[in-house]
Structure formats: C-alpha cells, structure tokens
C-alpha cells in the first residue's frame, strides 16, 4: 500500500477535526470523562497521534499527560497512584503519552521492575481498569504497531535531525537490541489485560498518516452519539467607533520578508 502523502492526509483529516470538536462539545455538555492511552514502541508515532487528536481541542479541556521517570518517593507508592491524580473530572479528556502500562513494557524488558512486580501489575490492572470503567470513565487503549525496519529508519532520522534528537534517550538506544523481548512482553500484556470492558485496539503505524486517521476514526466511532448543537452566540454591535490600540510594530530582521 502506498504511503499517504501529507496533502492527502490534511484533506482527510479536516472533517475529522470537526468531529473531534463536536466530541469535545458533547463531553463538556454531558459531563463525560474520557481517558485515551497511547502505547507502542519507541518511534511508533505516539506524539504525532496525540497531536492529531488534541490539535483542534481546547487545551483547558483536553490534557496531555506524559509522566517523567518516577521520583524516589513515587517508587514507594502504590504503582497506580501517580496516574490516578491525572484522571479526568467531568467534561474533561485526558490523553496519556505512555501510561501505567510502562510496567509491562519498558520496565519489564529493561529490568526496572522485578518479575514479581510485573506479575502483580498484570494481576491488578484489570481490576484497576474495571474500577475506572464502572465509575463511568470512557477508557480507550491503543497500541501503535511498527516493524523493526521502520523503527530503525525513524531512529536514524531522529539522530540526523537536530530538532528531533531530543527524542532519543539512552533507553531508546538500548532498546534497539531488545525488539523481540518487547514483542514477547507486549503479547503477554495483551493476553492479561484485553477484555470486553477495557479492550485493546492495535493500529498499524508503519504509515503514520494512515495510522492517525485510523485511530481517530475508531475513537469517534466507539463513542455515543456526540451530536450537540453549539451554543448560539451573537455579537452585539458596539456603541460608537471601535477604539484603535497604539502599539509599536517590530521590523522583521533580514532576510525575512513578511509581506
């Protein structure tokens, strides 16, 4: 299948933007709470997918959560504790750029968690997610799939691009040689945590443009009917002439020409 060009992606994405805005309007009106988990290998395209979902939305309503390495204090807490505080209130959407599933992936493969901790996590997470769903949270779990060849290509691009090099961490580089181990960890995780109540959706992200469209379409299709008419707004005519603000216009530096 040919890769989807940027211009074609933009054309197909435009109507989805309107549906995402309608979804957010429904969330605000109904008081719904939405949690979307974005998981996948390094370079899978999680950041771009999250931007595609959140781009047209009000950042006060739609929050992105990307937690750093746990602090010493957090390592002594209940494992799910630092994620719970980021869950949405009524009318909010939370997008997790990696989530509690770190324990079943990178923490397991890189040896940051003991086998006992991983087993305990896989036993507890279905119960944890059951509590979330039973409390009314709409939970969506996406795993972005990529082949090793595509992963290597993207890692090389990040290495060559000074604007993307910050995305490369020592863990990312060390994980290159553990592709198969990550595959086995993912399969074990899916078997233990996929359920009718909180199912996983695997999305092909070898073509990131197609992957973003597929993910957004699936997310929108799995929501209830989100048709809510916008609140009517009327611009009342101002009395008198509009005032003109006095300000100084900075001249562009050469060789930039803004005209």
Taking each helix axis from N to C end, the angle separating 208-221 and 46-54, rounded to the nearest 10 degrees, works out to 50
pLDDT at 259: 54
On the question of pLDDT at 252 being above 80, the answer is: no
State yes or no: cis peptide before 11, omega within 30 of 0: no
Identify the weakest region by mean pLDDT among 143-147, 243-247, 254-258: 254-258
All domains in the chain, ordered by first residue:
6-221 (3.40.50.300)
The residues, any chain, with a CB within 8 Å of residue 91's CB and separated by 6 or more, are 27, 28, 30, 31, 32, 33, 61
* 148-186 pLDDT per residue, tens: 999 888 888 888 888 787 777 777 777 788 899 999 999
pTM of the predicted model as reported, rounded to 2 decimal places:
0.88
DSSP secondary-structure letter at 172?
Answer: H
Question: In the predicted model, what is the mean pLDDT of the chain?
Answer: 92
On the question of pLDDT at 258 being above 60, the answer is: no
Which of 133, 259, 143 minimizes the C-alpha distance to 191? 143
* 122-135 pLDDT per residue, tens: 999 999 999 999 99
By CB atoms closer than 10 A (0-12, 13-18, 19+), residue 74 is: middle
- Stated as kind and residue range, the H or E segment containing 62 is strand 62-65
Say if CB 140 and CB 35 are below 8 A apart.
Answer: yes
């Amino acid at each position: 299948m040919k890769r989807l060009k940027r211009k074609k992606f933009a054309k197909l994405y435009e109507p989805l933007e309107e549906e995402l805005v309608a979804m957010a309007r429904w969330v605000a009106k109904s008081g719904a709470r939405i949690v979307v988990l974005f998981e996948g290998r390094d370079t899978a395209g999680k950041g771009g997918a999250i931007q595609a979902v959140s781009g047209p939305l009000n950042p006060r309503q739609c929050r992105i959560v990307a937690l750093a390495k746990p602090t010493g204090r957090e390592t002594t807490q209940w494992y799910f504790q630092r994620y719970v505080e980021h869950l949405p209130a009524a009318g909010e959407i939370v997008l997790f750029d990696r989530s509690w599933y770190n324990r079943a992936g990178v923490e397991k493969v890189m040896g940051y968690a003991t086998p006992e901790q991983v087993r305990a996590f896989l036993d507890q997470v279905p119960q944890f997610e059951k509590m979330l769903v039973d409390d009314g949270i709409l939970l969506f779990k996406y795993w972005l799939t990529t082949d090793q060849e595509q992963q290597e290509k993207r890692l090389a691009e990040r290495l060559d691009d000074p604007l993307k090099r910050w995305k490369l961490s020592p863990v990312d580089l060390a994980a290159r040689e553990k592709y198969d181990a990550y595959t086995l960890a993912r399969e074990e995780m899916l078997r233990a945590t996929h359920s009718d109540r909180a199912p996983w959706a695997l999305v092909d992200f070898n073509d990131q443009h197609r992957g973003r469209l597929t993910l957004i379409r699936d997310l929108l299709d799995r929501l209830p009917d989100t048709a809510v008419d916008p609140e009517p707004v009327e611009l009342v005519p101002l009395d008198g002439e509009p005032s003109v603000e006095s300000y100084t216009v900075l001249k562009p530096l050469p060789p930039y020409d803004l005209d």
